[in-house]
Amino acid sequence: MELTSQRRKACDLCFTKKIKCDMLKPHCSNCLLYKSECKTTRLRRRTAAAKDKPPRPAQNSVSSRESELEARLALIENQLKEVLEASASQPVKSQQPPVQQPVAGPFSPSQVFETPSPEPQWLSNIVAAAGQSPVLMSGSDTTTPSDWVAQPEPMVLPPLEDVLPLVDVYFTRFNVVLPLFHQGSFMTMLSDWYSHVIHRTRPAWAAINIVLAIAHRACITSENDFATDGEKSAAYLRNAQTVVNELVTREEDLVGLQVLLGMSLLFLGTKNPKPASVLLGTTIRLAHRMGLHDQDRSNGLPEHEAVQRARIFWVAYYLDKDVSLNQKMPSFQVDADIDLPLPDLDPADNVSIMYSTDSTIKFNYFRSRTALSHIQGKIYDLLYSTRSKKASPEDRVQRREQLNHMLEQWRLQIPEQFQMANVASSMSPTNAVHMVNMYSTYMLCLVHAHGIYTFDMNETCWFKDMRQSMTACAANGTISESCKGKIPAGWENCVVQSRAFIQLFTDAPFTECGFWISASARFATVMMVLTQMFIEPMHPHLTLDRELTRKAVAVFDQMVPRTTDKEIRWLHEIVSALFRQAMAATQDAVEAFERQAREQAQAQAAADYFVSLGTQMGNSQLADDFHFMSWS
């Protein structure tokens, strides 16, 4: 008898999991994916040459067969035990529940606004899995790729009846304004996922997770349960992050671009938006490889696909310009390389069209937002790029005038019902949230064009010099003319627009992601109104300004402690100090206003009394005399 060795065609891990092994050395692909040691156990069994085998007695054939089967079973059990012991030494991932496939029933979008009781088990598992990774929408300042590209997770999704209401919220509240996905194509992909196992690809799974994450952000609940919605959105975002490595090279369809853009949007609505700039760089390059910036590359495609390609490019464009100006970095997309018209003013599918509450006036949000992004790029190129900083003072003044003219022309093209002062009264709450985001960008463009404000604590600007003068004036108890002399050109318009913007974001529904998206604009506008209160404490809008700034500072006090961002905390300290100075400086003015109002009310009451008395006496001349004397 001799020992004969037979090598398996799969390593121990692939054999245990019953998956195909490519037998690459030193590690097969599956062992690399699961971060497991790749080894193959040699199976040995005793064999004998046919000529040496003794003839098997016929009467013992049954018992011999049973003995052979028992021996083989014992061998298999020992080998399986060895494999399981080897696997136990490796980190074991938490098991997720199997995907359920219930039949979709009727639903109402209002279901998503109801508080679930109790929370479904699948959601608890997803949130718990998200908590295992540091890559969440938290206040972490880490921005290395290893921090926002998560490890692969099992492709788990909620039941279909829980997904459909959220998908409806996404397409009726978010995608209708910012068309990231084509609704028909997405619903087909969603249906295929739950109907056919063969269509369950990782990119499709990531796209569904992104839609669910944004849907939780788009919900405006009466309870304002930001923590719960944030955890759910973070869990779905983490799922999508596990597929980033596959998406950055996916050029056969638009799903890769859509997921990357959705992730960028989600990161921009967090306390740490810096990962969005890294994702956007990759996304823009992928869009270039696919030719989305060139209209000729879309020739011959179906109309809806060509339109969607253009829309996805413009979404990437506006996010790129937004991050560029906010973080003072060059944009990835150069305007000279774009061969696409702006989004249609009146699209056939009515996407991105907003209506006033009486449905008489409509406004194309997406087109207007894209046009504003072009101005954002111009502001960076003409005022904040490395080359522009070497321009002469006269040239910079001319550039500022040109940019201010462009901003004013952009604002005047918006219908009156959609201007900042009228948004809260003429639009739905959901659309008002989108308008706050757009006008926050406009306000940042305005203050950057004037050089009034900067979001960088290490950069000098007009406001820092002004704040030093105001601190000195507050210490002396007077308002120095040097403060008024530092007012830049266009200050009055900036204050008027700032007052309107504060009124807008205090009246619009509050969302946490909306706060972080527009945080820099909120700080800038409050600073300008407080400065105006300090410089001119007797101005006619003092009472309104005090009330608006008090509401805004209360929101800052509530939200800023949730972040560890140094610049946000620095701005909060400045606003708090400026708020105290402005309130103290205007207290005397408020008392004077109240005293004057009381005197006028008393004089009016006296005049009315004498007029009434004269009428009763039948002496109209006497009444006129008393009326004249009371006002002399």
Instruction: Report pLDDT digits (tens) over 389-429.
Output: 899 989 998 999 999 999 999 999 999 999 999 998 888 88
Residue whose pair of structure tokens reads 């054999």 in the numeric block:
15
Q: What is the DSSP letter of 37?
A: -
Q: Measured at the alpha carbon of residue 288, what is the angle toward residues 283 and 292, in degrees to the nearest 5?
A: 95
For 497-516, write each residue's pLDDT tens digit: 999 999 999 999 888 888 88
Q: What is the pLDDT of residue 176?
A: 92
Lowest-pLDDT range of 375-379, 386-390, 463-467: 463-467
3-state secondary structure (DSSP) of residue 182 = coil
Q: What is the DSSP letter of 38?
A: -
Paired strand residues for 47: 2
Q: What is the pLDDT of residue 591?
A: 74
Q: CB of 483 within 8 A of CB of 535?
A: yes
Tokens of 156: 């788990």
Residue whose pair of structure tokens reads 């690459």 in the numeric block:
24
Tokens of 118: 């109790």
**Is the pLDDT confidence value at 439 over 60?**
yes
Query: Tell me, what amino acid is at 324?
Result: S
Residue whose pair of structure tokens reads 């008898």 in the numeric block:
1
**Is the pLDDT confidence value at 131 over 60?**
no
Lowest-pLDDT range of 50-54, 140-144, 331-335, 537-541: 140-144
Q: What are the structural domain ranges in the chain?
A: 1-48, 135-341, 419-632
CA dist 217 to 166, 169, 214, 233, Å? 10, 10, 5, 7
Element (H, E) at 353: strand 353-355
Q: CB of 261 within 8 A of CB of 316?
A: yes
Q: What is the pLDDT of residue 363?
A: 94
**How many Cα atoms are found within 13 Å in the side-chain-facing hemisphere of 57?**
4
Distance CA 290, CA 308 (A): 13
| In 266-306, beta strands by DSSP E | none
pTM score of the predicted model: 0.70
Average pLDDT, the chain: 78
Q: Comparing 116 with 295, which gets the higher pLDDT?
A: 295
pLDDT band at 568, cuts 50/70/90? confident
**Is the pLDDT confidence value at 436 over 70?**
yes
Q: Comparing 618 with 343, which gets the higher pLDDT?
A: 343
**Is the pLDDT confidence value at 142 over 90?**
no
Query: Tell me, what amino acid is at 462?
Result: W
Q: What is the DSSP letter of 103?
A: P
Q: What is the pLDDT of residue 69?
A: 74
pLDDT band at 222, cuts 50/70/90? very low
**For the chain, what is the largest distance between any 2 Cα atoms, rounded to a whole number of angstroms?**
147
Among candidate residues 238, 224, 32, 33, the one with its CA nearest the CA of residue 126: 238
| 606 CB neighbour count, 10 Å cutoff | 15
For 11-67, write each residue's pLDDT tens digit: 888 888 888 888 888 888 888 888 888 888 876 655 555 445 455 454 455 567 777
pLDDT band at 598, cuts 50/70/90? confident
Distance CA 13, CA 84 (A): 9
Q: What is the pLDDT of residue 577?
A: 86
Average pLDDT estimate for 147-160:
68
Q: Measured at the alpha carbon of residue 295, what is the angle toward residues 289 and 300, in degrees to the nearest 5?
A: 95
Distance CA 375, CA 368 (A): 11
Q: Comparing 413 with 70, which gets the higher pLDDT?
A: 413
Q: CB of 596 within 8 A of CB of 608?
A: no
Query: Tell me, what amino acid is at 575?
Result: V
Sign of the CA dihedral with 175 first, then 177, 182, and 183 last: positive
Lowest-pLDDT range of 228-237, 536-545, 587-596, 614-623: 614-623
**Is the pLDDT confidence value at 256 over 90?**
yes
**Is the pLDDT confidence value at 612 over 80?**
no
CA dist 405 to 71, 279, 342, 478, 521, Å? 90, 33, 20, 36, 20
384's CB contacts (< 8 A; 6+ apart) are 325, 328, 448
CA dist 257 to 147, 188, 206, 566, Å? 20, 18, 11, 32
**Is the pLDDT confidence value at 112 over 60?**
no
Percent of the chain with pLDDT over 70: 72
15's CB contacts (< 8 A; 6+ apart) are 8, 21, 83
Q: What is the pLDDT of residue 91?
A: 44
For 178-205, write each residue's pLDDT tens digit: 999 999 999 999 999 998 888 889 999 9
Tokens of 213: 């994450």
**Class of domain 1-48 as given by CATH:** few secondary structures
For 448-493, write each residue's pLDDT tens digit: 998 776 555 554 456 666 666 666 665 555 555 556 656 777 888 9
**Is the pLDDT confidence value at 437 over 80?**
yes
Percent of the chain with pLDDT over 90: 38
Among candidate residues 289, 281, 292, 294, the one with its CA nearest the CA of residue 320: 281
